[in-house]
């Protein structure tokens, strides 16, 4: 259970009743989610609001519903053009008068939108921050009737964050210029300090603050180390997501290209996406991801923000993200529709070294570098831990989970730890005896007694540690070194060719005054086990959408109809409706238009638009 779940007051205010009516009539949803009701009623009442919700938590409705309940047009500040277009498309689909103003419109189209705004023909208008702040736009707003300002991705105001946008800071002037218009700032990433920065920088006036639970119970977290990351990724994809859409994150453009080509050679539709590609290519990749089924995007972190495809079934990291926030935000792109999804990560010692290198080589101030190093360490801690990962992730966002989650790798298959004290001592003394002047690869060669010219030249084959580690494989030694680095017994000096050096904490371990437990390498499942018999089988089963065998043709026909409707309307299939909605149709088998209102996700506009065709399919299968 989320720790900060609000208590329902049980007292329906007129504003709440009206908001609920809009939720049902326009969106076809039966109830608000965590905090949505309070946020919506605060904004309707004209109060400034700061709302923190995880990705997929349902932020959009928090301003879209007040936009419909309050008189006038809501102005939504959004940093990403793709996101604006998606949102406006989805809003029009449910019959809401929405538009956007951005660089994709020519002046004539923009003038039409401005006229609609001033003449009160819009419920919501999406605008990029730099455009909103032009004199011309502000003057237009002066003569319009405004319902509210919604500032999406409000963490962009934070100069410490990874998405800092200077123009966001100037949004503070909206409060002075339009004092009677409430402002709602929304974000999915903000620790306590960033929250305060948002309130201060935007000069929100005594805002009501809402922090929804950051838990995303439908996402399963899995982090593994050691061995070939690609091989493990492939097994994961084959076993769990043979035909699902998902994102694979890599650190560098080069790796993105390689991994995309490799997945393609294996028969998946995998597309590369990174900042080095031409804008047209990037747009086309994004478009295919949204519209086609089963596409895998291989991307640097440049991909994802502002993509709200709800049925991304997995997010895989082939390298370590920079911080827990970044990891949580990136993995949060999976399973926005609330159905089971996976957050999978493979990492190794090289990642730790590379990221430390990035930090060291950046132009940032020492203070900032220190912050970045701490953030990276916090993430490494989560990778190495043997207890519930979700608990640790949520604790990072100051949220307590009273029980282990039961839906992360450590909960599902508690990792074995073994006594690694002897191995750790051998490793530390080998570092020491070789003079703390070598990287992990060399030290491991010494431990394993490799016949190597460099070792011989350095006379390291005469050291007492030479060959004392033949009992462990190269990979097992890498695990030991990674864990020694992760837990602070060794540091990697990246200014000196990644040489390993002992820290103070190594002393008690070296002297045998302390024990060291190592996480056992996760064993790869045997190849002949083959793919799991679908979701819902075996340990930790997650019932996703279940369609009975006998209903499969019905389900397929509904999906085919959706694909047709999406193509006709030139929108992604999920904008027509989610899988959950189609599943409801299968289960309820509605016979009349009135009956369709009971289906989750069908509001008035969609029933009017698609109702008859849906009923025709139902009739074919229930005859
Ligand atoms: P966020 O912007 O917080 O990432 P969205 O606003 O895109 O999340 O919402 C995620 C998904 O959840 C959307 O598909 C949305 O339609 C759905 N959703 C939001 N609120 C509700 C609700 N009260 N009932 C059912 N579905 C909801
Ligand atoms: Zn857990």
Summarize pLDDT for 533-559 with one digit per residue, the tens. 334 333 444 667 888 889 999 999 999
Residue minimizing CA distance to atom 26 of ligand 1:
29
392-437: pLDDT as tens digits = 998 887 788 889 999 999 999 988 888 899 999 999 999 999 999 9
Report CA(591)–ligand 1 centroid distance (Å): 27
The ligand 1 atom nearest the CA atom of 600: 25
Confidence band of 479 (pLDDT split at 50, 70, 90)? confident
322-334: pLDDT as tens digits = 888 889 989 999 9
Report CA(393)–ligand 2 centroid distance (Å): 10
Report CA(220)–ligand 2 centroid distance (Å): 8
Closest ligand by atom to 22 CA: 1
Question: Contact at 8 Å (CB) between 480 and 420?
Answer: yes
Report CA(538)–ligand 2 centroid distance (Å): 17
Report CA(418)–ligand 2 centroid distance (Å): 21
Give the whole-angstrom CA distance, residue 535 versus residue 545.
Answer: 9
Q: Look at residue 522 in the predicted model and tell me its pLDDT.
A: 54
Report the share of the chain in percent with pLDDT over 90: 60
User: Which residues are bridge partners to 209 per DSSP?
Assistant: 50
For ligand 1, pick from 19, 33, 58 the residue to mutate: most ligand atoms within 8 Å of CB. 58
Report the share of the chain in percent with pLDDT over 70: 93
Q: pLDDT higher for 371 or 64?
A: 64
Q: Is the pLDDT of residue 586 over 60?
A: yes
Question: Contact at 8 Å (CB) between 94 and 117?
Answer: no
436-466: pLDDT as tens digits = 999 889 999 999 999 999 999 999 999 999 9
The ligand 1 atom nearest the CA atom of 332: 4
Closest CA to 204 of 416, 432, 358, 49: 49
Mean pLDDT of 578-596: 94
Closest ligand by atom to 153 CA: 1
Q: Which of 195-204, 344-353, 456-465 has the lowest mean pLDDT?
A: 344-353
Q: Look at residue 542 in the predicted model and tell me its pLDDT.
A: 63
The ligand 1 atom nearest the CA atom of 310: 14
Report CA(31)–ligand 2 centroid distance (Å): 28
Q: Look at residue 350 in the predicted model and tell me its pLDDT.
A: 82
Residue minimizing CA distance to atom 27 of ligand 1:
58
Q: Which of 114-123, 266-275, 565-574 has the lowest mean pLDDT?
A: 565-574
Q: Is the pLDDT of residue 250 over 60?
A: yes
Beta strand 417-419 with 517-519 is antiparallel
Report CA(375)–ligand 2 centroid distance (Å): 21
The ligand 1 atom nearest the CA atom of 59: 3
In order of 54, 241, 312, 390, 421, the CA distances from 34 in angstroms are 11, 30, 22, 19, 47
Give the other-Cβ count within 10 Å of 180's Cβ: 6
Give the other-Cβ count within 10 Å of 106's Cβ: 8
Q: Which residues surround ligand 2, an ion (CB under 5 A)?
A: 388, 390, 404-405, 408, 411
Report CA(272)–ligand 1 centroid distance (Å): 28
Mean pLDDT of 592-598: 94
Mean pLDDT of 515-524: 71
Give the whole-angstrom CA distance, residue 377 versus residue 369.
Answer: 12
Confidence band of 220 (pLDDT split at 50, 70, 90)? very high
Closest CA to 259 of 234, 295, 235, 284: 234
Mean pLDDT of 262-291: 93
The ligand 1 atom nearest the CA atom of 188: 3
Q: Look at residue 62 in the predicted model and tell me its pLDDT.
A: 97
Residue minimizing CA distance to atom 12 of ligand 1:
58
Which long-range contacts link 543-546 to residues 24+ away (Cβ below 8 Å)?
A: 543/340, 544/339, 544/340, 545/339, 545/579, 545/580, 545/583, 546/583
Instruction: Collapse the DSSP code of 224 into the 3-class scheme (helix H, G, I; strand E, B; otherwise coil) and give the result.
Output: strand
| Ligand 1, pocket residues at CB < 6 Å | 29, 32-33, 36, 53, 55-61, 308, 310, 336-337
Q: Is the pLDDT of residue 10 over 60?
A: no
Mean pLDDT of 22-32: 95
Closest ligand by atom to 30 CA: 1
Give the whole-angstrom CA distance, residue 446 versus residue 460.
Answer: 7
Q: Look at residue 190 in the predicted model and tell me its pLDDT.
A: 65
Q: Is the pLDDT of residue 253 over 90?
A: yes
Confidence band of 487 (pLDDT split at 50, 70, 90)? confident
Q: Is the pLDDT of residue 33 over 70?
A: yes
Residue 597: φ, ψ to 5°: -65, -20
Q: Which of 160-164, 349-353, 580-584, 589-593 has the lowest mean pLDDT?
A: 160-164
The ligand 1 atom nearest the CA atom of 23: 23
Residues 6+ apart with CB under 8 A from 620: 557
Residues 6+ apart with CB under 8 A from 367: none
**Mean pLDDT over all residues of the chain?**
88
Report CA(226)–ligand 2 centroid distance (Å): 21
């Amino acid at each position: 259970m989320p720790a900060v779940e609000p208590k329902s007051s049980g007292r329906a205010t007129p504003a709440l009743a009206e908001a609920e009516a809009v939720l049902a009539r326009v969106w076809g949803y039966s109830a608000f989610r965590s905090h949505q009701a309070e946020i919506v009623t605060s904004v309707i009442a004209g109060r400034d609001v700061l709302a923190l919700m995880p990705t997929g938590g349902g932020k959009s409705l928090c301003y879209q519903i007040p936009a419909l309940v309050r008189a006038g047009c809501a102005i939504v500040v959004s940093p990403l053009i793709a996101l604006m277009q998606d949102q406006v498309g989805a809003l029009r689909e449910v019959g809401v008068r929405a538009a956007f103003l951005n660089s994709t419109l020519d002046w004539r189209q923009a003038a039409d939108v401005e006229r609609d705004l001033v003449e009160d023909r819009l419920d919501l208008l999406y605008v990029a921050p730099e455009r909103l702040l032009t004199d011309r736009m502000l003057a237009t707003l002066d003569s319009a009737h405004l319902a509210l300002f919604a500032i999406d991705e409000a963490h962009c105001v934070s100069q410490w964050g990874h998405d800092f946008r200077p123009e966001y800071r100037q949004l503070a002037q909206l409060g002075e210029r339009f004092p009677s218009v409430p402002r709602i700032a929304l974000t999915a990433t903000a620790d306590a300090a960033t929250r305060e920065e948002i309130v201060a920088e935007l000069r929100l006036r005594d805002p009501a603050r809402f922090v929804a639970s950051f838990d995303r119970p439908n996402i399963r977290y899995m982090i593994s180390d050691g061995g070939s990351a690609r091989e493990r990724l492939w097994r994961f994809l084959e076993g769990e997501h043979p035909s699902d859409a998902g994102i694979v994150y890599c650190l560098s453009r080069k790796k993105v290209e390689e991994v995309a080509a490799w997945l393609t050679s294996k028969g998946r539709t995998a597309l590369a996406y990174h900042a080095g590609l031409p804008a047209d290519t990037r747009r086309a990749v994004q478009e295919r991801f949204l519209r086609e089924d089963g596409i895998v995007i291989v991307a640097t972190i440049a991909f994802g923000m502002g993509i709200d495809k709800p049925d991304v079934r997995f997010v895989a990291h082939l390298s370590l993200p920079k911080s827990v926030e970044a990891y949580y935000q990136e993995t949060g792109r999976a399973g926005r529709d609330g159905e089971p999804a996976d957050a999978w990560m493979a990492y190794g010692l090289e990642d730790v070294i590379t990221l430390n290198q990035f930090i060291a080589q950046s132009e940032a101030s020492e203070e900032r570098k220190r912050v970045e190093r701490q953030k990276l360490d916090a993430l490494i801690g989560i990778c190495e831990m043997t207890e519930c990962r979700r608990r640790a992730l949520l604790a990072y966002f100051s949220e307590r989970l009273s029980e282990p989650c039961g839906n992360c790798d450590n909960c599902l298959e508690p990792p074995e730890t073994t006594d690694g004290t002897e191995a750790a001592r051998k490793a530390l003394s080998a570092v020491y005896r070789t003079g703390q002047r070598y990287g992990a690869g060399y030290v491991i060669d010494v431990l394993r007694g490799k016949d190597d010219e460099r070792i011989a030249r350095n006379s390291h084959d005469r050291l007492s540690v030479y060959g004392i580690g033949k009992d462990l494989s190269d990979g097992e030694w890498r695990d030991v070194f990674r864990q020694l680095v992760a837990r602070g017994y060794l540091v990697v000096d990246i200014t000196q060719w990644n040489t390993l050096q002992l820290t103070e904490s190594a002393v008690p371990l070296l002297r045998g005054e302390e024990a060291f437990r190592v996480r056992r390498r996760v064993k790869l499942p045997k190849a002949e086990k083959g793919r799991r018999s679908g979701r819902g089988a075996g340990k930790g089963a997650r019932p996703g959408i279940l369609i009975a065998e006998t209903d499969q043709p019905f389900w397929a026909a509904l999906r085919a109809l959706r694909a047709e409707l999406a193509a006709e309307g030139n929108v992604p299939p999920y904008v027509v409706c989610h899988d959950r909605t189609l599943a409801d149709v299968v289960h309820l088998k509605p016979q009349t238009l009135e009956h369709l209102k009971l289906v989750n996700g069908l509001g008035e506009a969609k029933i009017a638009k698609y109702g008859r065709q849906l009923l025709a399919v139902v009739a074919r299968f229930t005859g």
